[in-house]
Chains A and B, each alone.
Chain A
Amino acid sequence: MAQTTLLITILGMALVTYLPRLLPAWFLRARSLPPFLAAWLRYIPAAILSALLLPTLLVENGQLNLSGQNLYLWAALPSALVAWKRKSLFLTVLTGMAVVALIRLLAPGS
């Protein structure tokens, strides 16, 4: 791809990424919202985080992996436990990484 075309592509990507990030905050922040919309926005974080997370754990290389060989799924158990008990992002991340690294060390190829 020519350098100019590439630059235009990147500028276009930046614009179509920025507007959905900005416009709702820009127009909604000064308003008092009707109860349904306010409740809907309160439930959005839990809904969207879960909707993002589950495919990350269950899809491997574009394929659904529900087998006992799914490393990401196994590592989710101790990570979730630490998150629940300690309420710490940092400890959860360390636990998850350590479990994944350890399993790969003990069972190469997983």
Chain B
Amino acid sequence: MNLRDQLASFKNFLSPLAPALPVVMGYLPIGFAYGVLAAAAGMDVFTATLMSLIVFAGSSQLMAVGLISQGLNPWAIIIATFIINLRHLLMSASLSPFLQKWKNREVMAFCAELTDETFGVHSLRFERGELNTSHALGINLICHLAWIAGSLAGVLAGGRIADVRPLGLDYALPAMFIALLILQIRGKTYAGVALAAGGLSMLFWIAGQTQWNVILAAVICAAIAAGVETWRKRPC
């Protein structure tokens, strides 16, 4: 391999880094927070890291360590995890048209690391026609490694909690969602769907549906827009 080929393959190897970077910046501090809470709940390095390795779902992991510290029974924790993470059904379905040519094992690996954040990144890239399988898997892997590294650092730090607030790191993920959402708005209908889903999600939250607000709002608002679109395009 000559130097130019080597440089090209090195560049190809690094290309998932840039799209993964905003997620990494958010995952390190939140993973860290999870690790600190896991240590406080009495989990050791192995179990706390194992959860980040095989569950890899931030909000449900934070919820679980809370319930574990209260000594709640395993079924309650597993059922709560299931409900919190059901929203991934929608994300998996929404990315499915782009995975047609993938091998089964690639889909299995990809879906294992499908989080709110990686979903946002992939849905944007796939829409733009960036369909490279190894880049997509590379992005997921980097994000997952950041999550595991953050968790591990958090458990090891244990009681010596460093405050991430002065750096504004707690705002990394909200800011990323703002960008992901704005980049998704490709016309008036999309803007309408986003406004309606955000508002409905808040209404459900205020009404006490703090677990179901996201799924319900997204399903309803996307269905209304799809209904209107299909009706307009109907053969007359």
Binding site for B on A (CB under 8 A): 1, 3, 5-14, 16-18, 20-26, 28-30, 33, 35-59, 64, 72, 75-76, 79-80, 82-84, 87-90, 92-93, 95-102, 104-105
Are B55 and A1 in contact (CB-based, < 8 A)? no
Q: How many residues belonging to B are interface residues under a CB distance threshold of 8 Å?
A: 101
Secondary structure dominating the interface of B: helix
Among A25, A59, A90, point to the contact of B18 (Cβ < 8 A).
A90
Q: In the complex, A13 Cα to B197 Cα: how many Å?
A: 28
CB closest chain-B residue, reference A6 = B47
Q: In the complex, A105 Cα to B165 Cα: how many Å?
A: 10
Are A93 and B85 in contact (CB-based, < 8 A)? no
Are A22 and B183 in contact (CB-based, < 8 A)? no
Are A21 and B194 in contact (CB-based, < 8 A)? no
Closest 8 CB pairs of A and B: A96-B175, A101-B168, A51-B201, A100-B168, A92-B179, A24-B93, A97-B168, A39-B226
Tell me whether A47 and B93 are in contact in the complex, defined as CB-CB below 8 angstroms, given that A29-B99, A36-B227 are known contacts: no
Q: In the complex, A41 Cα to B96 Cα: how many Å?
A: 9
Among B19, B26, B99, B178, point to the contact of A79 (Cβ < 8 A).
B178
Are A40 and B166 in contact (CB-based, < 8 A)? no
- Tell whether B218 is near chain A: CB-to-CB under 8 Å: yes
B82 to chain A, nearest CB (A): 4
Tell me whether A22 and B92 are in contact in the complex, defined as CB-CB below 8 angstroms, given that A13-B60, A47-B197, A51-B201 are known contacts: yes
Q: In the complex, A48 Cα to B64 Cα: how many Å?
A: 23
Secondary structure dominating the interface of A: helix
Are A44 and B172 in contact (CB-based, < 8 A)? no
Q: When A and B form their complex, what is the total count of cross-chain residue pairs whose Cβ atoms lie within 8 Å?
A: 282
Q: In the complex, A21 Cα to B226 Cα: how many Å?
A: 23
Q: In the complex, A80 Cα to B92 Cα: how many Å?
A: 26
Are B54 and A11 in contact (CB-based, < 8 A)? yes
Residues of A within 8 A of B169 (CB): 97
Q: What are 13 A-B contacts defined by CB distance under 8 Å? A: A1-B71, A5-B74, A13-B77, A24-B89, A25-B99, A36-B226, A39-B225, A47-B196, A50-B194, A79-B174, A83-B179, A89-B19, A89-B183
What 1/0 mask marks residues of chain B from 79 to 90 whose CB sits below 8 Å from any chain A CB? 101100111111
Are A51 and B217 in contact (CB-based, < 8 A)? yes
- Tell whether B51 is near chain A: CB-to-CB under 8 Å: yes
CB closest chain-A residue, reference B86 = A20
Among B172, B179, B189, point to the contact of A88 (Cβ < 8 A).
B179
From 148 to 176 in chain B, residues with beta carbon under 8 angstroms from any chain A beta carbon are: 165-176
Tell me whether A93 and B95 are in contact in the complex, defined as CB-CB below 8 angstroms, given that A21-B111, A30-B100, A104-B166 are known contacts: no
Are B182 and A21 in contact (CB-based, < 8 A)? no
Residues of B within 8 A of A44 (CB): 90-91, 93-94, 218, 222
Tell me whether A29 and B107 are in contact in the complex, defined as CB-CB below 8 angstroms, given that A23-B92, A51-B213, A92-B179 are known contacts: yes
